[in-house]
Each structure stands twice: as C-alpha cells, then as structure tokens.
C-alpha cells in the first residue's frame, strides 16, 4: 500500500495497481500548484464529506477517469445526478471492493455542499488492503466512537486532521491515537489556510513526547506500508 499526500486532505492510495483518490482539493490549493489534476490516476474517489475543501476536483477527475465515487448516500446521489458513477454507503457499513475492504465510520463535523445542498453526515474510512489497514479520519472532532475501531481492527497507520479550528488539533489528535490504539500517525488538514497553520516541529515533538510518531509529508511525497 502506497500513500501519496496531495495537500490539505487530499491523498492517493495505491493498492494492487488500483488508484484510490481521497478528497481531491488540489486545483484550488495554491500550495499544491505543482500537482496537475489531469495527470492523476483514479479508479475510485473516496469522499469523506461535502465541503468545498474536500470535493473541489471530484467532478473533473471522475469525468476524465470514470472513477467510482464512494461516499455517503447523499453525496453519491448528488454525483449520480450529474451522470457520474458511484457506490453509496452509510455509517457502520463496509463493502469488499476490488482493492480490499472499506468501512465508512463516524466523524463529528458538518457536510453541506458549497451550494448549500445537503451532503449527508460526514464520515471517515477504514481501508484494508494488501494485509495493511489504515484509518482516514476525515474532518472530525475527537470522539469516543474512535474507541470502537481497535475493538475490531489493528491499524497500521492513522491519517488524522491536526490543524485545529475546523477539526481536532494536536492535543486531541494525540488522544485520538490513544483511542484508536495506533502510534503511527500521518497528519493532514493543516497549513492550507491561515486558520489551520501549525508549527511542524512542535507538533512532532508533542507526539514524540507521548511515544507516538507524527509524519508530515511534503505535497507530492509518498509513504509505503
């Protein structure tokens, strides 16, 4: 499993020669200007919730690639009405896709589309493929629901928002990593806007002081599990 960071909350996950894009917000992110969405591969596009900073490039990439959009029922219906392909899910549900098993789990946040239409309830994903399991939390507050995850799953990596203001900040993300029983964290949802700028060294040190490893990737950089 190879995970590439495309800035903000945008990721690409490669499993078994399949490309799974997550929350593509790239063309509108000045910090990701070296990434061209026309060069991105996508067999699937996972969407955690309907906010602009998670869906901006979904339509363009899905149109070009024919990728299957996976999200909650309301978000998938929104794109199916535009003629795009989708697989609707809802909280607590899992499905065996060709890349592996995917579960849609709870997140505490909101989820309206930029035009104000209803984007269902926000979520996160647990992806199991090639004998590795990762948790992509999406935009979320710290929530006790996270404690349910290790009751069923041993995580190899957790991707947690750390930028504060709209989501968890560093302190809550450290507690979250306790809740999910995973010490290997990839931080995301930071630095894109003024509200969510963080001090990288301080963030890494705080995780280190709690016996945890916080990775912060440069835009375009990958990590292999």
Per-residue x/- track, 51-80, Ni ion (CB under 5 A)? x-----------------------------
Sole binder of Ni ion in the list 74, 139, 164, 191 (CB under 5 A): 139
Q: Which residue, 115 or 201, has its beta carbon nearer to Mn ion?
A: 115
Contacts 24+ apart (CB under 8 A), 212-218: 212/174, 212/177, 212/183, 212/184, 212/185, 213/183, 213/184, 213/185, 214/162, 214/185, 214/186, 214/187, 215/184, 215/185, 215/186, 215/187, 216/186, 216/187, 216/190, 217/4, 217/5, 217/186, 218/5
Q: How far is the CB of 121 from Ni ion (least distance, A)?
A: 12
Who's near 84: CB < 8 A, 6+ residues apart? 59, 62, 63, 69
With binding defined as CB under 5 A, does residue 164 bind Mn ion?
A: no
Per-residue x/- track, 4-43, Ni ion (CB under 5 A)? ----------------------------------------
Q: How far is the CB of 189 from Mn ion (least distance, A)?
A: 6
Sole binder of Mn ion in the list 11, 29, 40, 53 (CB under 5 A): 53
Residue 164 binds: one of Mn ion, Ni ion, none (C-beta under 5 to 8 A by kind): none
Q: Which residue has the tokens 């795009």?
A: 84
Q: How far is the CB of 151 from Mn ion (least distance, A)?
A: 27
Per-residue x/- track, 120-139, Mn ion (CB under 5 A)? -------------------x
Q: How far is the CB of 95 from Ni ion (least distance, A)?
A: 24
CA dihedral of 6, 164, 180, 56, whole degrees rounded to 10:
-30
Which residues are paired to 134 by β-bridges? 127, 157
Residue numbers of the site for Mn ion (CB under 5 A)? 53, 139
């Amino acid at each position: 499993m190879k995970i590439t960071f495309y800035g903000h909350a945008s990721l690409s996950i490669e499993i078994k020669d399949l490309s799974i894009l997550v929350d593509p917000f790239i063309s509108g992110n000045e910090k990701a200007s070296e990434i061209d969405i026309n060069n991105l591969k996508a067999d699937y596009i996972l969407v955690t919730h309907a906010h602009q900073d998670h869906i901006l490039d979904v339509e363009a990439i899905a149109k070009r690639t024919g990728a299957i959009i996976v999200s909650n029922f309301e978000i998938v219906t929104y794109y199916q009405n535009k003629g795009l392909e989708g697989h609707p899910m809802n909280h607590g549900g899992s499905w065996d896709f060709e890349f592996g098993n995917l579960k849609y789990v709870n997140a505490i946040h909101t989820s309206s589309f930029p035009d104000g239409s209803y984007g269902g309830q926000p979520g996160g994903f647990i992806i199991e493929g090639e004998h590795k399991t990762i948790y992509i939390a999406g935009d979320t507050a710290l929530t006790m629901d996270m404690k349910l995850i290790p009751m069923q799953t041993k995580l190899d990596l957790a991707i947690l928002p750390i930028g504060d203001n709209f989501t968890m900040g560093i302190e809550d993300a450290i507690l979250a990593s306790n809740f999910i029983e995973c010490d290997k964290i990839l931080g995301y949802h930071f630095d894109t806007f003024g509200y969510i700028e963080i001090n990288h060294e301080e963030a890494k040190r705080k995780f280190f002081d709690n016996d945890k490893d916080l990775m912060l990737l440069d835009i375009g950089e990958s990590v292999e599990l």
